[in-house]
Structure 1
Amino acid sequence: MTSSTKPARSSGNLFEAVAQSGSTLDEHVDALVERSGVTIERIVSTGQASPPGFWYDSPRAEWVVLLTGAAVLEFAGDPRPHPLKPGDHVMIEAHCRHRVAWTSDTEPSVWLAVYYP
Structure 2
Amino acid sequence: MIGNLLEGIPDLLPEERFEELASAESVTVERIVSWGHTSPETGWYDQPRHEWVLVLQGRGVVAFEEDEEVTLGPGDHLLIPAHRRHRVAWTAPDEVTVWLAVHYD
Match of 1:72, SS state, is: strand
- Structure number having the greater helix percentage: 1
Match for residue 88 of structure 2?
100
RMSD over aligned Cα, in angstroms?
Answer: 1.0
TM-score of the two chains, using structure 2 as the length reference: 0.94
Equivalent residue for 2:61, pick from 63, 72, 80: 72
Q: Tell me, yes or no, if structure 1 residue 44 matches structure 2 residue 37.
A: no
Per-residue CA deviations over 1:12-64 (Å, capped at 9, x if unaligned) read 1101112x1x5121111110001122100001001110111310000000000
Runs of 4+ in 1 over 2 A off after TM superposition: none
Residue 11 (structure 1) shift:
1.8
Number of corresponding residues: 105
Letter in 1 for 2:2: S
Equivalent residue for 1:15, pick from 6, 17, 20: 6
TM-score of the two chains, using structure 1 as the length reference: 0.85
| Residue identity (%) | 48
Per-residue CA deviations over 1:59-91 (Å, capped at 9, x if unaligned) read 0000000111110111111x2321111111000
Which has the greater radius of gyration?
1
CA distance, structure 2, for counterparts of residue 24 and residue 50 of structure 1: 15
CA distance, structure 2, for counterparts of residue 93 and residue 14 of structure 1: 24
CA distance, structure 2, for counterparts of residue 67 and residue 52 of structure 1: 25
